[in-house]
């Protein structure tokens, strides 16, 4: 087990392309860290640099205080789980799992013992003599995990280990990964593009975009206090709704009507000297049917509902706001990542409502939104003007 | 520790740092590249050396020889004669007859092979019973030594001896001999052709056939409008290689007719001049002419159809 | 529907049968000839009326034939081994590395595979006579290696491209040195491809006739296909049909069995080299 420190780590390619810029992170012993971001954001490159599969252009990588920039992967004592699992097709499950130990010249009986322990933990005991090609996707994934576990390395590196599984299995394996990591207490660096995995697995989450770290913090902190538009849009599903707006006096004017801002937010805005043009962020669950919430303080507006989805516990209402669309490079990036780059006139919005809301498709409904939970971003820089980290650094820093 | 979202910070912490990092990355990459290039060349050197030593030098030597009168039966009369050997060969009816025979055999057998090969490929690809058996037995002609197969056909068409000949003697007549030579060539190479085409067929997604069927295409239309265009690269490669191969036909003719009744191919005539006649000057001239012809076929083929030769592009076009 | 599949099954059965007949008729014919006795040899029947192994006894008693058989086996094995060794190096480089001469080596092997062998006969004959390797094993091994090289390079590089090289990374992460990663992970995965290529290369050497005919003059290095065309009957008037047939069977059956055993791999090898490129 180990403490891993990335100190101003930079990765540049010979053509000048910047893959990872000034990456700083201290991973505590036993911590579960998630690197998340859209494809091409540099998260896998970062992982490969820690693994030793790619060299570090500048900066230092320290494991337990020792600089390992120039050490070969085999001398770093780190295990890795690959997206494709990279199981050796000519070896049985048992041989696959025992391979690292065999390379380390561990005696046979110890290898057997350790492989069996790991197999038991992963429920692979009855498959030990089979070849990987005869296993299901989920079983292969577990073998890959087993191969990492048996050698009791200082740290696990996982490169999108669940992305080749179907949705149901992925959820199952997610909890299993989490359980194994908690049981073994091994420092883990986990790469994914799936924000749900990031939210559910990590002690702390590192959000990356274009090789630059956007924010580091606990999942809840990222959810409540996103540092900028990108993090706000990336974390959370369904994602946050964005509407362009203008600060006017004590309130804010946008397609969501005019609303008075609560004192907390106003004070925060006064501290920052941001411009008056902003982007409003509202999480789907911060909407409610205005009839249910009565005269609770908050904003009100009405909109024609396009589609209603009843999920039993919740009710999702989709509607479109006419008028200007919030635009920024960060939001464009997000749209590209989700493949949702259709440009319609108007902003597609999602509201998660109480199931008792009596709303039907086509209705023109009055909706309420919680101004206390509003996120306000600078339209220019995308920075969070209110709930950002300046206020809650202490809270996030505890991480674990 | 928790906030790093300051986007106004210039990427990489300043211009100098950027350039330094790029320089480091470049240096490492060029070192890696150099090592890789060195290893690559070292690994290829032995193979390249053998090919150059056994091909390039001798072909140059053959060209050199073709400029001389070099008859081993009259070694004291050898002298430089310029291009007169070429004049001799190119004005010789024997050469042109052989050239005609070779061209005829090549064209007819490649066409037959393509048709039969496509049929066999479809059978191997689509058959619902005994697929393994069919594929396995289709390999038999490929595995058999050409000379052995040629003997089998020769005996089969020999008067009295053969089960196909009866009391006739087709190998004593020119056109029936050529037909049998073509038969022997086609029999041996159809399976090879079929295998190449089958690999192409396997690349045509089954869904495409289903979609075309849903769109109202008949089986025949589907074959011509879906299968053939998609298998075209495989077809072109197979045809090019078989054409070049057929043009070199030698073994079958040697065994079946020994070139009797004007059934010699160009390789056969060259062989007779070189080894039987020991006339190295004329033989080498023919060798060079065959080499040039093959090169022309290859170039024309690639230019006309853009047939990509195997291995010519790196892993693309899968 | 039941009837329909029954019908199509029957149709495929007939088609399959045609393919089988196509493939085996000349083969059974030569076997049948080799088993006929001298009285019925010329009866023109496809199947022998009575079976005798006289022809086989005859050829195995013949020193020229046994010598040719040894030559064939020895020369082809050595040529295959060397071609494979050099081909593996080159194919690895072509499949895995970026280097300046790559296009040249690929183009060169392409040229060799299109080369008319006859064009090499004279120069090789002259050179080999001059160097003193005419009519020796070496004299045949050298051209065999050369002409087998493109086949070896294409087929092997196609196989090498299929190897999941990510496993090399996995092995590194599992604590392997580069050599261990090669020895324990990559080499076992490459073996089937190498083996298949070996069969293909061996078959192509085994099949050669022109060089065996032109670059030998005695039984010192003459291989079976060439030796067969020199077979003499007991008297000048007797045609050596029986012995030729027997010799043909002897050099055919082992290869056919081999091919049948490794059918799947050979199909993969033959097609991968040519089409996937």
Interval C185-227: pLDDT, tens: 988 999 988 998 999 999 999 999 999 999 998 889 999 999 9
The residue with tokens 């080596």 is: C105
Distance (Å, whole) CA B20 – CA A254: 47
Q: Give the number of other CB atoms < 10 A from CB of residue C61.
A: 9
Chain A residue whose CA is closest to C191 = A90
Distance (Å, whole) CA A345 – CA A321: 9
A364-369/A299-310 β-pairing: antiparallel
Distance (Å, whole) CA C264 – CA B139: 10
Q: Is C58 exposed, middle or buried (0-12, 13-18, 19+ CB in 10 A)?
A: middle
> Which of B34, B51, B113 to substitute to test the interface with C, most C CBs within 10 Å?
B51
> Which of C170, C187, C193 to substitute to test the interface with A, most A CBs within 10 Å?
C170
- Could you tell me if A52 lies within 8 Å of chain C, comparing CB atoms? yes
- Could you tell me if C174 lies within 8 Å of chain A, comparing CB atoms? yes
Chain A residue whose CA is closest to B17 = A58
Find the CB nearest A90 among C173, C180, C188: C188
Alpha-helical segments (H) within chain A: 43-51, 93-103, 108-121, 137-150, 167-184, 195-201, 219-224, 229-234, 263-271, 290-293, 329-338, 389-397
When computed from its CA atoms, the radius of gyration of chain C, rounded to whole angstroms, is 23
CB A198 within 8 A of CB A219: yes
* Confidence (pLDDT) at A388: 61
Find the CB nearest C87 among B47, B149, B198: B47
**Sequence spans of domains, chain A:** 4-224, 239-388
Contact between chains at C176 and A82 (C-beta distance less than 8 A): no
If residue A323 lies in a helix (H) or strand (E), which one and from where to where?
A: none
Distance (Å, whole) CA C59 – CA C264: 34
* Segment among A129-138, C4-13, C20-29 with least mean pLDDT: C4-13
Per the structure, how many domains does chain B have?
A: 1
- Could you tell me if C181 lies within 8 Å of chain A, comparing CB atoms? no
The nearest CA of chain A is from the CA of B128 a distance in Å of 25
What fold is seen in the domain A4-224? Rossmann fold (3.40.50)
* Confidence (pLDDT) at A190: 96
> Which of B128, B144, B315 to substitute to test the interface with C, most C CBs within 10 Å?
B144
The nearest CA of chain B is from the CA of A378 a distance in Å of 12
Q: Which residues from chain C sit within 8 angstroms of residue A74, using beta carbons?
A: 172-177
Angle between helices C2-35 and B93-126 (to 10 degrees): 140
Angle at CA of residue C211, ends C207 and C215, nearest 5°: 140
> Which of B34, B38, B40, B272 to substitute to test the interface with C, most C CBs within 10 Å?
B40
CATH, domain range C62-276? 1.10.3720.10
Q: Longest Cα pair distance anywhere in chain B, in angstroms? A: 100
> Can you name the residues that pair with B50 across neighbouring β-strands?
none
* Size of the B and C interface in Cβ pairs below 8 Å: 328
- Could you tell me if B99 lies within 8 Å of chain C, comparing CB atoms? no
Find the CB nearest B146 among C93, C143, C209: C209
Nearest to A208 by CA among A42, A81, A336, A329: A42
Find the CB nearest C267 among B39, B59, B195: B195
Distance (Å, whole) CA B208 – CA B66: 55
**Band (B61; pLDDT cuts 50, 70, 90):** confident
DSSP secondary structure letters along C18-35: HHHHHHHHHHHHHHHHHH
The nearest CA of chain A is from the CA of C183 a distance in Å of 12
Contact between chains at A13 and B25 (C-beta distance less than 8 A): yes
A396: tokens are: 């996030």
Nearest to B114 by CA among B243, B277, B270, B297: B243
CB B137 within 8 A of CB C20: yes
Q: Give the number of other CB atoms < 10 A from CB of residue A95.
A: 17
Q: What is the CATH number of the domain that holds B191?
A: 1.10.3720.10
Q: Which residues from chain C sit within 8 angstroms of residue A77, using beta carbons?
A: 175
What percent of chain B is predicted at pLDDT more than 70? Answer: 91
The nearest CA of chain A is from the CA of B12 a distance in Å of 6
Nearest to B235 by CA among B115, B70, B149: B115
The nearest CA of chain C is from the CA of A53 a distance in Å of 7
Q: Longest Cα pair distance anywhere in chain A, in angstroms? A: 76
**Band (B281; pLDDT cuts 50, 70, 90):** confident
Arithmetic mean of pLDDT over chain C: 87
pLDDT(C34) > 70: yes
Interval B186-226: pLDDT, tens: 999 999 899 888 888 888 888 888 888 888 878 888 888 88
CB A104 within 8 A of CB A121: no
* Confidence (pLDDT) at A323: 79
Arithmetic mean of pLDDT over chain B: 83
User: Does a structural domain hold residue B85?
Assistant: no
Contact between chains at A80 and C175 (C-beta distance less than 8 A): no
The nearest CA of chain B is from the CA of A50 a distance in Å of 17
* Confidence (pLDDT) at A343: 60
Contact between chains at A12 and B25 (C-beta distance less than 8 A): yes
DSSP label at residue B312: S
Residue-range definition of the domain harbouring residue B198: 94-261+290-305
Q: Which residues from chain A sit within 8 angstroms of residue B34, using beta carbons?
A: none
List all residues of chain B from 135 to 164 with a beta carbon under 8 Å from chain C. Answer: 135-149, 151-153, 155-156, 160-163
Distance (Å, whole) CA C273 – CA C94: 13
When computed from its CA atoms, the radius of gyration of chain B, rounded to whole angstroms, is 28
> Can you name the residues that pair with B71 across neighbouring β-strands?
B279
* Confidence (pLDDT) at B313: 41
In this prediction the ipTM stands at 0.89
Residues 6+ apart with CB under 8 A from A17: none
Chain A residue whose CA is closest to B31 = A14
Chain C residue whose CA is closest to B135 = C263
> Can you name the residues that pair with A35 across neighbouring β-strands?
A191, A206
Find the CB nearest C170 among A86, A90, A151: A86
Chain B residue whose CA is closest to A19 = B12
Q: Give the number of other CB atoms < 10 A from CB of residue B132.
A: 11
The nearest CA of chain A is from the CA of B27 a distance in Å of 8
* Confidence (pLDDT) at C236: 53
CB A300 within 8 A of CB A290: yes
Positions of chain A with pLDDT under 50: 390-400
User: Does a structural domain hold residue B14?
Assistant: no
If residue B263 lies in a helix (H) or strand (E), which one and from where to where?
A: none
Q: What's the order of all strands across the beta sheet hosting A287-289?
A: A287-289, A364-369, A299-310, A315-321, A347-353
More confident residue, B283 or C82: C82
pLDDT(C232) > 70: no
Contact between chains at B20 and A58 (C-beta distance less than 8 A): yes
Reduced to 3 states (helix: H, G, I; strand: E, B; else coil), residue C93 is: helix
The nearest CA of chain B is from the CA of C81 a distance in Å of 13
């Amino acid at each position: 087990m180990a403490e891993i420190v990335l100190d101003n780590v930079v990765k540049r390619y010979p053509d000048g392309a910047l893959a990872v810029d000034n990456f700083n992170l201290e991973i505590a012993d036993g911590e579960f860290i998630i690197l998340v971001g859209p494809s091409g954001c540099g998260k896998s490159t970062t992982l490969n640099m820690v693994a030793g599969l790619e060299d570090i252009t500048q900066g230092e990588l320290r494991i337990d205080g020792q600089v390992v920039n120039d050490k070969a992967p085999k001398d770093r004592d780190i295990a890795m789980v690959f997206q494709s699992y990279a199981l050796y097709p000519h070896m049985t499950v048992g041989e696959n799992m025992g391979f690292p130990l065999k390379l380390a010249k561990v005696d046979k009986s110890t290898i057997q013992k350790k492989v069996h322990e790991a197999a038991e933990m992963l429920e692979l005991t009855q498959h030990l003599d089979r070849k990987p090609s005869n296993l299901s996707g989920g079983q292969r994934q577990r073998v890959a995990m087993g191969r990492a576990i048996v050698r009791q390395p200082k740290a696990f590196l996982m490169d999108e280990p669940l992305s080749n599984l179907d949705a149901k299995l992925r959820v199952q394996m997610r909890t299993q990964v989490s359980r194994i990591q908690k049981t073994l207490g091994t420092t883990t660096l986990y790469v994914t593009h799936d924000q749900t995995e990031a939210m559910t697995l990590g002690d702390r989450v590192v959000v990356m975009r274009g090789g630059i770290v956007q924010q580091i913090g606990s999942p809840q902190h990222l959810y409540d206090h996103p540092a900028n538009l990108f993090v706000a849009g990336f974390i959370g599903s369904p994602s946050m709704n964005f509407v362009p707006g203008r600060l006017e006096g004590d309130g804010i004017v946008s397609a969501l009507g005019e609303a008075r801002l609560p004192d907390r937010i106003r004070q925060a805005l006064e501290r920052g000297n941001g411009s008056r043009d902003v982007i409003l962020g509202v999480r789907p669950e911060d909407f409610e049917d205005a009839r249910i919430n009565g005269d609770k303080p908050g904003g009100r507006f009405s909109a024609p509902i396009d589609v209603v989805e009843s999920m039993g516990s919740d009710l999702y209402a989709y509607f479109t706001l006419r008028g200007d669309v919030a635009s920024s490079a960060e939001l464009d990036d997000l749209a590209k990542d989700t493949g949702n780059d259709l440009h319609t006139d108007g902003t597609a919005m999602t509201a998660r409502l109480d199931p008792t809301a009596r709303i039907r498709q086509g209705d023109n409904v009055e909706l309420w939104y919680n101004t206390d939970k509003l996120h306000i971003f600078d339209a220019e820089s995308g920075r969070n003007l209110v709930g950002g980290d300046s206020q809650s650094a202490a809270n996030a820093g505890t991480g674990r | 520790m928790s906030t790093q979202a300051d986007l106004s910070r210039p990427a990489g912490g300043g211009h100098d740092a950027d350039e330094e990092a790029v320089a480091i990355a470049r240096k490492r990459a060029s070192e890696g590249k150099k090592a890789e290039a060195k290893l690559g060349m070292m690994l290829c050197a032995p193979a390249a050396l053998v090919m150059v030593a056994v091909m390039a030098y001798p072909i140059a030597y053959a060209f050199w020889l073709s400029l001389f009168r070099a008859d081993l039966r009259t070694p004291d009369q050898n002298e430089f004669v310029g291009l007169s050997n070429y004049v001799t060969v190119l004005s010789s009816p024997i050469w042109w007859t052989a050239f005609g025979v070779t061209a005829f055999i090549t064209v007819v057998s490649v066409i037959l092979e393509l048709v039969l090969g496509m049929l066999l490929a479809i059978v191997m690809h689509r058959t619902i019973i005994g697929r393994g058996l069919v594929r396995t037995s289709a390999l038999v002609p490929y595995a058999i030594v050409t000379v052995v197969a040629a003997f089998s056909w020769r005996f089969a068409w020999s008067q009295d001896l053969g089960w196909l000949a009866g009391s006739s003697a087709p190998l004593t007549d020119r056109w029936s001999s050529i037909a049998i030579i073509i038969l022997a060539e086609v029999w041996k190479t159809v399976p090879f052709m079929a295998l190449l085409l089958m690999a192409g067929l396997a690349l045509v997604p089954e869904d495409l056939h289903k979609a075309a069927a849903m769109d109202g295409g008949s089986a025949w239309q589907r074959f011509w409008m879906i299968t053939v265009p998609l298998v075209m690269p495989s077809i072109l490669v197979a045809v090019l290689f078989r054409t070049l191969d057929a043009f070199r036909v030698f073994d079958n003719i040697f065994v079946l007719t020994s070139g009797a009744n004007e059934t010699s191919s160009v390789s056969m005539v060259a062989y007779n001049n070189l080894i039987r006649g020991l006339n190295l000057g004329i033989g080498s001239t023919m060798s060079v002419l065959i080499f040039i012809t093959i090169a022309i076929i290859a170039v024309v083929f690639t230019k006309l159809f853009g047939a990509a030769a195997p291995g010519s592009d790196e892993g693309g076009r899968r | 529907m039941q009837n329909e599949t029954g019908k199509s099954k029957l149709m495929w059965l007939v088609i399959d049968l045609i393919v089988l007949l196509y493939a085996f008729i000349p083969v059974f014919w030569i076997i049948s000839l080799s088993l006929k006795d001298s009285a019925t040899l010329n009866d023109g029947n496809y199947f022998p009326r009575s079976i005798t192994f006289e022809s086989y006894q005859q050829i195995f008693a013949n020193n020229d034939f046994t010598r040719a058989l040894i030559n064939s086996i020895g020369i082809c094995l050595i040529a295959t081994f060397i071609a494979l060794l050099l081909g593996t190096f080159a194919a690895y480089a072509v499949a895995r590395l970026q280097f300046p001469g790559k296009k040249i080596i690929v183009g060169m092997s392409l040229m060799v595979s299109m080369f008319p062998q006859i064009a090499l006969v004279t120069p090789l004959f002259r050179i080999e006579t001059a160097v003193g390797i005419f009519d020796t094993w070496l004299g045949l091994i050298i051209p065999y290696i050369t002409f087998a090289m493109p086949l070896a390079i294409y087929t092997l590089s196609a196989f090498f491209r299929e190897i999941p090289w990510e496993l090399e990374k996995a092995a590194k992460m599992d604590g392997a040195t580069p050599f261990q990663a090669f020895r324990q992970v990559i080499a076992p995965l490459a073996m089937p491809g190498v083996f298949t290529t070996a069969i293909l290369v061996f078959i192509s050497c085994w099949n050669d006739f022109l060089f065996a005919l032109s670059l030998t003059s005695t039984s010192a290095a003459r291989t079976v296909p060439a030796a067969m065309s020199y077979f003499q009957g007991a008297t000048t008037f007797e045609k050596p049909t029986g012995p030729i047939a027997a010799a043909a069977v002897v050099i055919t059956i082992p290869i056919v069995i081999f091919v049948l055993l490794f059918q799947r791999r050979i199909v993969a090898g033959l097609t991968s080299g040519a089409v996937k490129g």
